């Protein structure tokens, strides 16, 4: 009996394994988020942030009161993803320390994305992905989110108070990061404005940040009445309840941050028409902060934009991230005559739209 194993020498190891390994990386793509959530839940970023020097495995395990073997495997994984760093202490001993990525996971950090990670990893936001294929193939009339939860995303959070805070915290966290990028990347966008209305501003987090950086601006935070009723009072910001499909409060400029991507083109055009009516026709403008797909000059940013497009499909069904041409279509259909796009250091772009 011939037990010789035959190997095709014409196929190199790289050619055989690379596609398989790449596909496994996609299939297991949920794992980095799950392990990051584990680190947040354990409080590892904050512990390392409060420690003046690199922390040994023994010390970290002792503080967390967890087995060293399991903790070592968690840290080894996150170091491979550059979430934490290893630094030598003495002899052959190494310690764990923060990295630029893990500093974004501290609870009290100015640029923390912890609340976004906790929101996106929650069962509420994960469940709709399992029904995406049924909706795409036409086997169900409901959007993926509606199929998973019985109502759309806005109805769900309005009817489930226990989930409202995590949702609002996640949105506010994203808003702060975007506003910081706008102010640092193109502060001139706010120059000369006396009044600014943030349409769909939720709890007013974005507008508070803008007014703090630009104290000459009087801000109007505009959202549905039940949303703004929970908003925090702050100097320079007035909260106004209403429906953006009916009207938008008057101001020198309208600020729309990640609002239009929730809606189909016809709804987006209707919102923009209300915004155009709210601003001076000679000096006013609408400031849109959102993704613009097709930025091939920055592959990583474009990739995040495409991920967000999948999220819009899953969470809203009508929403989408738009290309340059798609943005041009909705702006011109809404009656605007010109617009400019400024790219900033995150996946958002700043679009200034003029009557």
Rounded CA-CA distance 78/39 in Å is: 9
Round to whole Å and give the CA distance between 4 and 9.
15
Active-site pick, 149, 239, 261, 348: 261
Cα four-point dihedral sign 176, 182, 188, 191: negative
- 161-198 b/e (C-beta count within 10 Å ≥ 16 → b): eebbebbbbbbbbbbbbbbbbbbebbeebbeebeebbb
Residue 324: count of CB within 10 angstroms of its CB: 15
Phi and psi at 281, nearest 5°, equal -75, -15
Q: Tell me the backbone φ, ψ of residue 174, rounded to 5 degrees.
A: -65, -40
Q: Is 75:42 a contact under the CB 8 Å cutoff? A: no
Active site residue 261: yes
Count of CB atoms situated within 10 Å of the CB of 47: 17
CA dist., res. 220 & res. 238, Å (int): 5
Q: Is 186 helix (H, G, I), strand (E, B) or coil?
A: coil
Rounded distance, CA 96 to CA 89, Å? 10
Spatial distance between the Cα atoms of 73 and 55, rounded to a whole number of angstroms = 16
- CA 42 → CA 74, 76, 87, distances in Å? 11, 16, 21
Residue 260, beta-bridge partner list:
none
Taking the C-alpha atoms of residue 281 and residue 275, their distance in angstroms, rounded to an integer, is: 11
- Of 275, 251, 248, 279, which Cα lies nearest the Cα of 330? 275
List residues with catalytic annotation: 261
């Amino acid at each position: 009996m011939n037990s010789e194993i035959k190997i095709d020498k014409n196929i190199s190891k790289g050619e055989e394994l690379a596609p398989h390994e790449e596909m496994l990386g996609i299939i297991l793509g949920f794992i980095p988020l799950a392990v990051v959530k584990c680190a947040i839940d354990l409080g590892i970023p904050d512990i390392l942030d409060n420690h003046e020097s690199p922390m040994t495995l023994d010390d970290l395990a002792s503080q967390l009161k967890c087995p060293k073997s399991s903790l070592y495997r968690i840290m080894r994984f996150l170091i491979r993803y550059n979430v934490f760093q290893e630094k030598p202490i003495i002899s052959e001993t190494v310690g764990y320390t923060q990295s630029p990525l893990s500093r974004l996971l501290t609870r009290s950090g100015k640029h923390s994305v912890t609340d976004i990670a906790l929101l996106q990893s929650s069962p509420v936001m994960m469940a709709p992905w399992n029904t995406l294929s049924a909706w795409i193939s036409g086997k169900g009339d409901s959007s993926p989110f509606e199929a998973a939860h019985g109502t759309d995303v806005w109805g769900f959070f309005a009817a489930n108070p226990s989930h409202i805070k995590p949702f609002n915290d996640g949105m506010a966290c994203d808003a702060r990061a975007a506003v910081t990028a706008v102010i640092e990347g193109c502060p001139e966008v706010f120059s000369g404005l006396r009044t600014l209305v943030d349409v769909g501003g939720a709890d007013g987090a974005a507008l508070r940040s803008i007014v703090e950086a630009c104290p000459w601006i009087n801000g109007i935070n505009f959202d549905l009445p039940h949303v703004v009723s929970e908003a925090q009072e702050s100097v320079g910001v007035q909260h106004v309840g209403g429906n953006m499909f009916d009207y938008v409060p008057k101001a020198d400029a309208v600020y729309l941050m990640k609002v239009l991507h929730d809606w189909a083109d016809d709804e987006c055009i209707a919102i923009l028409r209300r915004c155009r009516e709210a601003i001076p026709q000679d000096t006013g403008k609408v400031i849109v902060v959102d993704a613009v797909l097709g930025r091939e000059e920055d592959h990583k940013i474009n990739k995040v934009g495409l991920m967000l497009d999948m999220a819009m499909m899953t969470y809203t069904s009508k929403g989408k991230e738009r290309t340059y041409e798609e943005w041009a279509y909705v702006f011109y259909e809404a009656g605007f005559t010109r617009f400019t796009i400024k790219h900033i250091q995150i996946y958002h772009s700043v679009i200034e739209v003029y009557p």
